[in-house]
Amino acid sequence: MCGIVAIHRPNSSVLSENDLDRGRSMLSRLDHRGPDDRGYRVAGRTFLGHTRLAIVDLADGRQPMPAGAEHWLVANGEIYNHGELRSELDHPFRTRSDSEAIGALLLAEGVPGIARLWGMYAFVVAGPRLGLVAARDELGIKPLYWARVDGTVQFASELRAFDADVRPAVAEFPPGHAWSEATGLVRVRPRVAEPPVPADRAAARTLIRERLITAVRRRLMADTPVGVFLSGGLDSSLVAAVMARYADPRHGPVRSFAIGTADSPDLAAARRVAEHLGLEHTERVYDADEALAALPRVVASIESYEPSLVRSAIPNYLLAETTARSVKVVLTGEGADELFAGYDHLRALDHDQLGAELRRSVRGLHNLNLQRCDRVTMAFGLEARVPFLDLDLVALAERIPVAWRLPGRLGQEKALLREAFQGWLPDDVLWRVKEQFGDGSGMAGLVRSHLPALGAPEDWDRHRVDGLRPPRSREELAYQLIFADTLAGVSGDVLGRFATA
């Protein structure tokens, strides 16, 4: 939806001119996240900046937005239950924007009210009564970073926004937390009703189907068309199948987007799904030269040098570039593998180990797949939404016995999820053997065959990049060199390193 910036001076009554200059400079580095508008405001001791991708309330939803009682807010993401909150809160709403519900809720209930928000978000609200309140959603779907330096607390959506002299102090703002001057950093647990353990597999299948349909329908909230990334695998195909039944017909057929090399299996599978569902389908075919040319931009965009993340990000980045020409919002299949044991290496774990690993992996997505998903799309002013990570569906998946999430009768992973949607897709798609996106799109092979062109020396194991961990491969060293060049000063452990002050 956007990019946000905030600079706050807790122990001063006003901001300095240097603070204002710094805030405007930070904001300029986030223009790609919000190509439709840019605005900022000083609210007492706080600079608030926002770059907007207009999706909900196109006419009146610009930010910083008045939050009532001399308060202002900047928010990134979507609040899917804003209609329900509007009906319950005694607040003079001025817009149809979902973000306005954040300020109304905080003024009514304070920081504990954040537990009622349902969606993906990172926001900062400032004003005389609340001081400053910043928060991030439970799973970290939307990014937020912060730093305490020179008497200020600074916030931004991406690492690149921070000035070079501040970057060594930057840390990731922890998911599921809020910070205010009054409370400090506190855990805010969303109000999710714990579902009962399904009585049997049939009950589990019914609940999975119902909750995924609800999750997808929530994420169709937009005043513009909503598309879908279609890899040809199970997860995105299920999302597309639900969209095909429930998307707003006023926007025409659902638009799907796929990418791969000329002979990649993903393209053929995605094309079959699109034809079956009657989608308006767009393909992008890329080659090795195009992928390698994009590599430095990809590493800079995802703000990571993790090899598997970079490889999968390259086709996603090129796909987002194509998609952004047609729509502003896409749904993706992120999170299904972590909920329903979709990775091959999980087969070796016993039940206790598997249950713990699935819980850990869902809560680690914020600086892995979710980071990649956010950055490659927002690099082109495109918002990605992730229905599998709806908190109702996450809660259900974690109550389903682990034994039911093991491979099914045909040996495929995610058997229970496949069974839940029997008849929604052709059987050869529904039971297609999983491929990692970086492999199915052809990316992994391209990187391996062109490794010498990546620029890292052959004696890669003797080289170190200041501030970063020792490289584990020549490929990782190549990415580290790009990372250090584009994000000078950022610590290599910033992801997952939480500042607790």
> What's the residue count for the chain?
501
Mode of pairing for the β-strands spanning 145-149 and 226-229 = unpaired
* Structural domain includes residue 99: yes
Number of domains composing the chain: 2
| Cα→Cα distances 444→377, 406, 420, 440, 452, Å | 20, 27, 31, 8, 14
Phi, psi torsion values for 112, nearest 5 degrees? -60, -25
100 and 176, same domain (yes or no): yes
Give the per-residue pLDDT at 110: 95
- The mean pLDDT value of the chain amounts to 91
- For the chain, the first-to-last Cα distance in angstroms comes to 28
Is 33 within 8 Å of 79 (Cβ atoms)? no
Is 418 within 8 Å of 430 (Cβ atoms)? yes
163 and 228, same domain (yes or no): no
pLDDT in tens, 445-470: 677 677 677 778 888 888 899 888 99
> Is the confidence at residue 73, as pLDDT, over 70?
yes
Mode of pairing for the β-strands spanning 255-260 and 177-180 = unpaired
141 and 277, same domain (yes or no): no
Cis peptide preceding 64, ω within 30 of 0: yes
pTM of the model: 0.94
Q: What letter does residue 211 receive in the DSSP assignment?
A: H
177 and 274, same domain (yes or no): no
167 and 26, same domain (yes or no): yes
Domain of residue 40, CATH code: 3.60.20.10
174 and 207, same domain (yes or no): no
Q: Which ranges of 40-139 would DSSP assign to H, the alpha helix?
A: 82-88, 100-109
* Structural domain includes residue 196: no
* Structural domain includes residue 418: yes
> Is the confidence at residue 410, as pLDDT, over 80?
no
pLDDT in tens, 242-263: 999 999 898 899 999 999 988 8
8 and 144, same domain (yes or no): yes
Give the per-residue pLDDT at 501: 47
Token couple for 122:
């990172």
176 and 272, same domain (yes or no): no
Among the three residues 187, 217, 247, which one is the final residue of a domain in this structure?
Answer: 187
126 and 35, same domain (yes or no): yes
Question: CA–CA separation, 144 vs 174, rounded Å?
Answer: 8
Give the per-residue pLDDT at 161: 97
Domain of residue 116, residue span = 2-187
pLDDT in tens, 187-246: 999 999 888 899 999 999 999 999 999 999 999 999 999 999 999 999 999 999 999 999
397 and 287, same domain (yes or no): yes
* Structural domain includes residue 455: no
381 and 415, same domain (yes or no): yes
Which of the residues are catalytic?
2
Among the three residues 404, 422, 449, which one is the final residue of a domain in this structure?
Answer: 449
Give the per-residue pLDDT at 493: 67
> Is the confidence at residue 411, as pLDDT, over 80?
no
For residue 416, which of 394, 438, 437, 401 has the smallest C-alpha distance?
401
* Structural domain includes residue 498: no
Question: CA–CA separation, 113 vs 191, rounded Å?
Answer: 10
pLDDT band at 440 (very low <50, low <70, confident <90, very high): very low
Rg (CA), the chain: 22
pLDDT in tens, 170-192: 999 999 999 998 999 999 999 99
Domain of residue 361, CATH code: 3.40.50.620
> Is the confidence at residue 442, as pLDDT, over 90?
no
* Structural domain includes residue 246: yes
pLDDT in tens, 96-117: 999 999 999 999 999 999 999 9
How far is Cα of residue 266 from the mean position of the Cα atoms in its chain? 22
Among the three residues 408, 432, 449, which one is the final residue of a domain in this structure?
Answer: 449
132 and 246, same domain (yes or no): no
Token couple for 329:
């919002």
Per DSSP, the three-state class of 23 is helix
> Is the confidence at residue 492, as pLDDT, over 70?
no
* Structural domain includes residue 487: no
> Is the confidence at residue 17, as pLDDT, over 80?
yes
Give the per-residue pLDDT at 13: 80
Question: CA–CA separation, 406 vs 354, rounded Å?
Answer: 9
Give the per-residue pLDDT at 251: 87
Question: CA–CA separation, 237 vs 329, rounded Å?
Answer: 17
Name residue 136's beta-bridge partners.
122
* Structural domain includes residue 461: no
Give the per-residue pLDDT at 407: 73
Question: CA–CA separation, 397 vs 405, rounded Å?
Answer: 9
Question: CA–CA separation, 120 vs 490, rounded Å?
Answer: 26
Is 461 within 8 Å of 437 (Cβ atoms)? no
